[in-house]
Amino acid sequence: DIQMTQSPSSVSASVGDTVTIACRASQGIGPWLAWYQQKPGTAPKLLIYAASNLHNGVPLRFSGSGSGTDFTLTISGVQPEDSGTYYCQQANSFPRFGQGTRVEVK
Amino acid sequence: EVQLVESGGGPVKPGGSLRLSCEASGFTLSSYNMHWVRQAPGKGLEWVSSSTIMSSYFYYAASVTGRFAVSRDNAKNSLYLYMNNLGIEDTGVYYCARDCGGACRNYWNFDVWGRGTLVTVSS
């Protein structure tokens, strides 16, 4: 099984900051990584697929990069509505999610 | 509007069974791979099961293999999850999710999610 490890587990940022979340796969998965945002009490939302492709309607301040085993989600100019938990998910085979990164925007 | 609505959750005793339903609207379910993902209270996301287009293949996480079964009724535009021999560790919110398919360059990306249905396994 491919294991996914995210860091940090939580981050606190001020409005306008740049937030970076890392995700590492236990073995190479090519570009097949997705990122999701989840707010309390709601379902996850797809942000990015294939490591760097923005899903429909996702603000341009979100971006993704990486390939193989190391990936990054960047929020440039974070906004209050970006608070929530972010999950990476390998999409190379049977899905496996990272443990999540909680983002608090003050 | 593209939408998924889950139902069928509720309280159940250990060893019991439940059937979850997921009704799709705004798109034809038979044209997509479909998935179940769950989330234990206060925990992260865990993929549970998948049904491919035309029910050609079914896949299960190791934690539910032999106890859960997924099926779909294309005439009702619905997906189902049959859960047997439930344990406390199966407690959580169960989400139905649509696979993005070729629009996301690859499978296993979930672009539409339902609001979830809560399953509580407790004696």
State the pairing for strand pair B117-121/B10-12. parallel
Q: What average pLDDT does chain A have?
A: 97
Residue of B nearest to A43 (CA): B115
Residue of A nearest to B113 (CA): A43
pLDDT digits (tens, 9 = 90+) for B33-92: 999 999 999 999 999 999 998 778 999 999 999 999 999 998 999 999 999 999 999 999
Which of B61, B95, B111 shows the shortest C-beta gap to A55? B111
pLDDT above 90 covers a percentage of chain B that reads 94
Name the burial class of residue B84, with classes exposed (0-12), middle (13-18) and buried (19+) by CB atoms within 10 angstroms of its CB.
middle
pLDDT digits (tens, 9 = 90+) for A31-81: 999 999 999 999 999 999 999 999 999 999 999 999 999 999 999 999 999
Tell me which H or E stretch contains B25.
Answer: strand B18-25
Q: Give the best residue of B108, B111, B112, B115 to mutate against chain A (max A CB count within 10 A).
A: B108
Closest Cα partner for B46 from A98, A37, A103? A98
What does the pLDDT read at residue B55?
72
Q: Which phi and psi angles does A7 have, rounded to 5°? A: -150, 145
**Length of chain A (residues):** 106
- What the block records as the tokens of A101 is 């990164």
What does the pLDDT read at residue A100?
98
What does the pLDDT read at residue A62?
98
What does the pLDDT read at residue B56?
81
What does the pLDDT read at residue A56?
95
Q: What is the rounded CA–CA span in Å between residue A33 and residue A89? A: 6
pLDDT above 70 covers a percentage of chain B that reads 100
Rounded (5°) CA angle B119-B58-A90 = 80
Q: Which residues of A touch B (CB under 8 A)?
A: 32, 34, 36, 38, 42-46, 49-50, 53, 55, 87, 89-100
Which of B95, B111, B115 shows the shortest C-beta gap to A46? B111
What does the pLDDT read at residue B19?
98
Contact B44 A94 (CB under 8 A): no
pLDDT surpasses 90 at B109: yes
What does the pLDDT read at residue A66?
98
- What the block records as the tokens of B77 is 């535009």
What does the pLDDT read at residue B54?
75
Closest Cα partner for A73 from A46, A44, A106? A46
Contacts of B95 in chain A (CB under 8 A): 43-44
